[in-house]
Amino acid sequence: MHVRGLPARCSMNQATAVVIPRDLYHALHRARFVAALTGAGISAESGVATFRDAQTGLWARFDPRELATPGAFARNPKRVWDWYAWRRERVAAVEPNAGHRALVELERRVSEFLLITQNVDGLHQRAGSRKLVELHGNIARVKCSREGTIIEHWSAEEDEVPRCANCGAFLRPDVVWFEEMLPEHALVAAEDAARRCDVLLVIGTSAEVYPAAGLPMLTHRRGALVVEINPNETPLSSRVDYVLRGASGVVLPQLVSAPWTL
């Protein structure tokens, strides 16, 4: 995973409905295969912090080099473990929002669908999405830092990082850190969807982190439709077919709840 740049962005929460062009409704309703790429912004209205929003973003308050790299874990596993444990608790305390639920409804309505998420919070699954791939892992899961085995149950003393019962190595969150590769099966499925879909919705992502940020261009190059849903401008905004400038918890229900006409 690598990043295009780290500009701070100003975020505004637009709770008002946006104007959705009729053409877009028609294209969506005609589409055989719809894919959606989501980022931290879709969970913002649930109360989960994004990464790059100025002031409120996690990377405005914490240094990713000290928390989200293999080197950071090697230097200070306890600090990294505790930070993810804190985030895991925060995520467990919130609920999916109207944006997550609208994507569940969209999955039900179209004949082929894939939700590609960069989020590790599991809120899409809790809302009811089933056809999805997680590009950056899931914070609820833990794996052995040496063998990569997923560990279902672990226990540890308060002041220690738990260890793998098999090999004794530290356990770590099953998320993708900077400098690490994405899970291959997830990336292959995401690229295949981006290449084959008729419409790609790009929701709540700053489009700064690759390879996820490259997926919309796979769709665009084929002449299929790319739609950005984001209250703020991103590097993608000038290269997509439609930009819906609003909060996903407002815009997605608007987009999906309209009568499905062909």
Query: CB under 6 A: which stretch of 26-34, 164-172, 188-196, 203-211 binds ligand OAD?
Result: 203-211
Task: Mark residues 227-256: x for contact with ligand OAD by CB under 6 A, - for none.
Answer: ---xxx-x------------xxx-------
Residues 4-33 close enough to bind ligand OAD by CB under 6 A? 9, 11, 13
Site string for ligand OAD, 74-113 (x = CB under 6 A): ----------------------------------------
Q: Which is nearer to ligand OAD, 20 or 112 (CB)?
A: 20
In the set 136, 153, 185, 220, the catalytic residue is: 136
Mark whether 136 is an active-site residue: yes
* Options 28, 110, 120, 200; binder of ligand OAD; rule CB under 6 A: 120
Among 204, 216, 224, 225, binds ligand OAD (CB under 6 A): 204
Backbone dihedral angles phi then psi of residue 185, each to the nearest 5 degrees:
-60, -35
Task: Name the phi and psi angles at 246, rounded to 5.
Answer: -165, 175
- Structure-token pair, residue 207: 């489009």
Phi, psi for 139 (deg, rounded to 5): -65, -20
Distance in angstroms (rounded) separating the CA atoms of residues 226 and 122? 25
Give me the residue whose beta carbon is nearest to ligand OAD.
41
At 108, is the secondary structure helix, strand, or coil?
A: helix
Nearer to ligand OAD, 23 or 63 (CB): 63
- 243's CB contacts (< 8 A; 6+ apart) are 227, 228, 230, 237
Tokens for 17, please give them: 């409905």
Q: Where are the alpha helices (DSSP H) in 76-207?
A: 77-92, 98-109, 123-127, 184-196
Residue 129, C-beta contacts closer than 8 angstroms, at least 6 positions apart: 100, 103, 104, 107, 115
> Catalytic positions, please?
136
**Which stretches of the chain bind ligand OAD, using CB under 6 A?**
9, 11, 13, 39-41, 44-45, 50-53, 57, 118, 120, 136, 175-176, 204-206, 208-209, 230-232, 234, 247-249
